[in-house]
Amino acid sequence: MIIGTRKTVAFELRSIEGGLQNLNFHLGNKLISDEPIYCPTYIASVDQFIARLKIGYYKNENLKSLSPYVIIKNLEAERNSDEPLFFRHLLKLDESIDQYLIYVFERSMLVEIFWYCWDEQRFNSEHELNEVYSITIPTSQLISILVILTSELKKTSN
């Protein structure tokens, strides 16, 4: 079952041995992960992501006029400062995406997601090492995709 659209954001679920779910996660027609997941932990992470989108957690007026590359470089330059925005905008769903740094920003009624693979041992053939990619999706559409995902994960984890 595919939830969403690969052109922007998509999750593909497949049951595997032992009652686990394998989840393919796509951003911008590019495979981010194809890994088994532990549903309760993944559901909790996605629920937190939904809640943050609903309250505008990822909005940042200081970054709104910058390019994805410049935003990423600014965030990473201040990673160890006293008030880092790095972790505020970093998407962490689970360890299956650790080879990517994925950032989330809200602008008006849109969500922009920027990412790149930094790990030369674990990047897939759909990516160039350290190349910055981005997609834009309406916030309401992303929330809808995520709600359907959690609903399907809850069905399979019961």
**CA dist 147 → 69, 96, 125, 142 (Å):** 29, 20, 30, 9
What are the counts of helices (DSSP H) followed by strands (DSSP E) for the chain?
A: 4, 7
Q: Is the pLDDT of residue 30 over 80?
A: yes
Give the pLDDT confidence score for residue 26 in this predicted structure. 94
- pTM for this one? 0.88
Domain around 53: 2-157
Q: pLDDT class for 96, splitting at 50, 70, 90?
A: low
- Determine the average pLDDT of the residues in 128-150: 94
- Determine the average pLDDT of the residues in 106-127: 82
Domain count, the chain: 1
Cα atoms found within 13 Å of the Cα of residue 64, Cβ hemisphere only: 10
